[in-house]
Chain A
Amino acid sequence: MTNESVLEQRLGRYSNLQLCFLAFLRVVVGWHFLYEGYVKIISPGWSSAGYLNAVPGPLANLFKMIVETPWMLTTADYTMKYGLTAIGIALILGLFTRLASVGAALLLVLFYISNPPWVGVQTALGEGNYLIVNKNLVEFAAVLLLLVFPSGLVLGFDRLFIKE
């Protein structure tokens, strides 16, 4: 099958509007991750130590342990700075979308459980009112959608690497 026919098979059943919004979702989530990663890179002396140490709730000690183990902290910082940035660029460009989406989903799970909006937990989240569902969870749901739909194929570089 040609490249074109594979794409037709994968994308054909969706309307243009659906595909458009799918691409929009991918790009917007990508921009969000890219900017989060970017500010951490340019911020001199940035570390996730502050955030990790302030984790409330039942998992506090687990996150504190990361801060106290130098190699774990370095890995965390590296992931936050370059991982977020790479995921962001990948999603915006629609390149290695599946891989980037899995990474994004995992990170969002971590962000969610480190500041869970549950009863009895003192979270550090900013504006808005949240109970069980917060913006991390909503973004996680969005990323799941990116995973089950052919997101990288819609106006994305993954189109060029379709094999059959």
Chain B
Amino acid sequence: MAENDKEKKTGLGRREFLKAAATTPVLGAFAYSVAKKGTEIESSREEILSLGKKVTGSNPNIVKRNYKRKASASDKLKIGFIGIGGRGKFHMRSCGFYPEDEETPRGLEGQEDLNIECTAICDLFQPNIDWALKATRGKAKVYRTYQELFDQSDVDMVLIATSDNAHAPITIAAAQAGKHVYVEKCMTRTIKEAFAVREAVKKNGIIFQLGHQNRDSNRYDSAMEVIDKGLLGQVSLIQCYTNRNTPSGAWVYGIPKEHGPLKGEGGSGAHNVDWEQYVAFTPHPDRPYDPNRFFRWRCYWDYGTGLSGDLLTHELDVINMVMNLGIPETCVASGGIYYYKEYKTMMTADGEPISADKPLPEGAVPRPDVPVIRREVPDVFQVTYEWPDRDLTVVYNATLANEHERGHIYMGDEAFMDLTNGVDVYADPISKRYKALIEKGKVKVDEPMVSYRNVAGKGIEAITSATAQWTVSKGLLYTYRGGRLVNTTYLHIKNWVDHIRDNDPKTMCDIDDGFQEAITAHMATMSFLRGCRTRWDKENEQVIFDLKGEDELAVFDSV
């Protein structure tokens, strides 16, 4: 009986085990299906990349991206900040200087300390100086003028974030004083200044960085690889754009309640704006105090560079880096003030300033201390640049009255690359090179065949399906490095400081890149203002107005 029981039990045991393990083959089926699918995707990617035709590494900008500092960072360097407005404050925060009562800036965790101290600050607006003093915990010395800063302080380098009109004079003074310079874009306000700055920087051998921190976004590593491998075929047209739809996006910034020139009357009666110094470097140094011209300087040609220097440069500088283009041969620009024709600055019934972006509360009244602003620079602006020696055109479209994201797109005969959200490469439906893959279904025409996204995690490269992933738009604020969110301004400043320590002038956006950026932008401004095509005369290094002869027209006319 006992043996029978035992037999029964073991019989049951085996059967029971089989019943329990009945679904295990499902796991096997899963593993098999997944393995089959995996190899399918892999071969597509290898096939695609192997179809690239060019030799890798032909873009010198790729070398710059792989730069690593050689010298140690044990010496504390001294920095001075000149121009501490909106952008300047972001610079200071990115370097780790911020008031105690403010939140720790994002994007700096786990990043190497720059080992710099701020010993000098200079600004024309007293509240900015007060903020900067708090940001340096009172350690920096305040200088009324930049000349005094260079004469008296012992800074090693300066970071310039003033209005565009002061970029050139201050950079040149810095170079002559032997101080390294990081200056915000646009490098200069005029073409003459671009030449002067280039000469001063090169002659004095300082380390120079132009503030195009979006270059440090790691998506451009992938973009440059795509171009370098020739995945797109021949690129004939590149489209880039700026679309915004808020008054502050159109540079109608807020004006503080208390403001006024140091000397004389004006504004709300305060005396916190060094107006005299401000207008000294402009074509009209005897203009009376006007808060619109100080706080909303980007709206005027005397202080700003309009859409060309302000926003077009973000796009063109990146295209220059990715494609290694240099200065365009010709430029045609047009546009106008089609939307932000005038704006009356308002305040609440009890005199508090109101942001132009917010809807007006009840009882809002016009501010008596701020005149109606009528901008000089266009708010809708289109520019066409030609590079006949590269067989390509770059088109820049901008409107400050629409928020649609249109695509930063490189169009080649085999594929196109879209840099709006990351790096997405789509095969062209008529592509010859990818035809076989398209027919086999390994490449779908309406999905990226190769996609690089900034993802929180490891590398920059991930083949993804085109599902929504968060990306850091354009890299103007943050990017991802080694799995963390990193502030690109910090990276760009670090790149500059590292090059200072190494005494290596080839920064991420060096003086040659800066010169190209400035000329490219100003060619557009000149074309717009004169209503005529501009041409870069490479031999004589000058920008000229360009018109073809009557003979060229005869083909059309004679018909």
Q: Roughly how many angstroms separate A43 CA and B459 CA in the complex, as a whole number?
A: 11
Q: Roughly how many angstroms separate A35 CA and B29 CA in the complex, as a whole number?
A: 12
Chain B residue at smallest Cβ distance from A95? B20
User: Which A residues touch B38, using CB under 8 A?
Assistant: 42
Q: Roughly how many angstroms separate A73 CA and B16 CA in the complex, as a whole number?
A: 43
Q: Roughly how many angstroms separate A47 CA and B485 CA in the complex, as a whole number?
A: 12
Of the candidates A31, A46, A73, A94, the one whose C-beta lies within 8 Å of that of B20 is A94
Which of the segments B167-175, B306-314, B464-472 contacts the partner chain? B464-472
The answer to whether B483 touches A45 (Cβ under 8 A) is yes
User: Which A residues touch B483, using CB under 8 A?
Assistant: 45
The answer to whether B470 touches A35 (Cβ under 8 A) is no
Nearest CB in chain B: distance from A43 CB, A: 6
**Contact A92 to B19, CB < 8 A, known contacts A47-B457, A50-B455, A54-B468:** no
Nearest CB in chain B: distance from A111 CB, A: 14
| B47 close to A (CB within 8 Å) | no
| B352 close to A (CB within 8 Å) | no
Of the candidates B16, B457, B460, the one whose C-beta lies within 8 Å of that of A46 is B457
The answer to whether B20 touches A160 (Cβ under 8 A) is yes
Chain B residue at smallest Cβ distance from A155? B22
Q: Roughly how many angstroms separate A43 CA and B468 CA in the complex, as a whole number?
A: 15
Of the candidates B21, B461, B470, the one whose C-beta lies within 8 Å of that of A50 is B470
Q: Roughly how many angstroms separate A42 CA and B34 CA in the complex, as a whole number?
A: 11
The answer to whether B470 touches A49 (Cβ under 8 A) is yes
Of the candidates A31, A47, A155, the one whose C-beta lies within 8 Å of that of B456 is A47
**Contact A38 to B34, CB < 8 A, known contacts A44-B457, A54-B470:** yes
The answer to whether A93 touches B23 (Cβ under 8 A) is yes
Chain A residue at smallest Cβ distance from B459? A45
Of the candidates B27, B34, B461, B470, the one whose C-beta lies within 8 Å of that of A92 is B27
Q: Which residues of A112-153 have CB atoms within 8 Å of chain B's CB atoms?
A: 124
Nearest CB in chain B: distance from A25 CB, A: 12
The answer to whether B455 touches A156 (Cβ under 8 A) is no
Nearest CB in chain A: distance from B24 CB, A: 6
**Contact A70 to B470, CB < 8 A, known contacts A27-B23, A89-B27:** no
**Contact A157 to B30, CB < 8 A, known contacts A45-B459, A47-B456, A54-B470:** no
The answer to whether B17 touches A160 (Cβ under 8 A) is yes
Q: Roughly how many angstroms separate A110 CA and B471 CA in the complex, as a whole number?
A: 22
Q: Roughly how many angstroms separate A134 CA and B483 CA in the complex, as a whole number?
A: 33
Interface size on A, residues (CB 8 A): 35
The answer to whether B34 touches A35 (Cβ under 8 A) is yes
**Contact A43 to B464, CB < 8 A, known contacts A50-B469, A92-B26, A93-B27:** yes
Q: Roughly how many angstroms separate A13 CA and B21 CA in the complex, as a whole number?
A: 22
Nearest CB in chain A: distance from B395 CB, A: 30
Nearest CB in chain B: distance from A35 CB, A: 7
The answer to whether B26 touches A31 (Cβ under 8 A) is yes
User: Which B residues touch A34, using CB under 8 A?
Assistant: 30
User: Which B residues touch A3, using CB under 8 A?
Assistant: 12, 16
Q: Which residues of A36-93 have CB atoms within 8 Å of chain B's CB atoms?
A: 38, 42-47, 49-51, 53-54, 67, 70, 73, 77, 89, 92-93
The answer to whether A35 touches B459 (Cβ under 8 A) is no
The answer to whether B17 touches A47 (Cβ under 8 A) is no
Q: Roughly how many angstroms separate A3 CA and B23 CA in the complex, as a whole number?
A: 20
| B462 close to A (CB within 8 Å) | yes
Chain B residue at smallest Cβ distance from A42? B38
Q: Which residues of A13-32 have CB atoms within 8 Å of chain B's CB atoms?
A: 23, 27, 30-31
User: Which B residues touch A158, using CB under 8 A?
Assistant: 20
User: Which B residues touch A50, using CB under 8 A?
Assistant: 455, 468-471
Q: Roughly how many angstroms separate A124 CA and B34 CA in the complex, as a whole number?
A: 26
User: Which B residues touch A49, using CB under 8 A?
Assistant: 455-456, 470
Most buried by B among A34, A50, A54, A67: A50
Given contacts A70-B109, A155-B22, 15 further A-B contacts (CB under 8 A): A31-B26, A31-B30, A35-B30, A43-B462, A43-B464, A44-B457, A45-B458, A46-B457, A50-B468, A53-B470, A67-B470, A124-B468, A155-B20, A156-B20, A160-B17
Nearest first, the 4 closest Cβ-Cβ pairs linking A and B are A45-B457, A50-B469, A50-B470, A47-B456
Ordered by A's residue number, 9 sampled pairs between the chains whose C-beta atoms are within 8 Å are A31-B26, A45-B459, A46-B462, A49-B470, A50-B470, A51-B468, A92-B23, A155-B22, A155-B23
List B residues at the A interface (Cβ < 8 Å).
12, 16-17, 19-24, 26-27, 30, 34, 38, 109, 455-462, 464, 468-471, 483
List A residues at the B interface (Cβ < 8 Å).
3-4, 23, 27, 30-31, 34-35, 38, 42-47, 49-51, 53-54, 67, 70, 73, 77, 89, 92-94, 124, 155-160
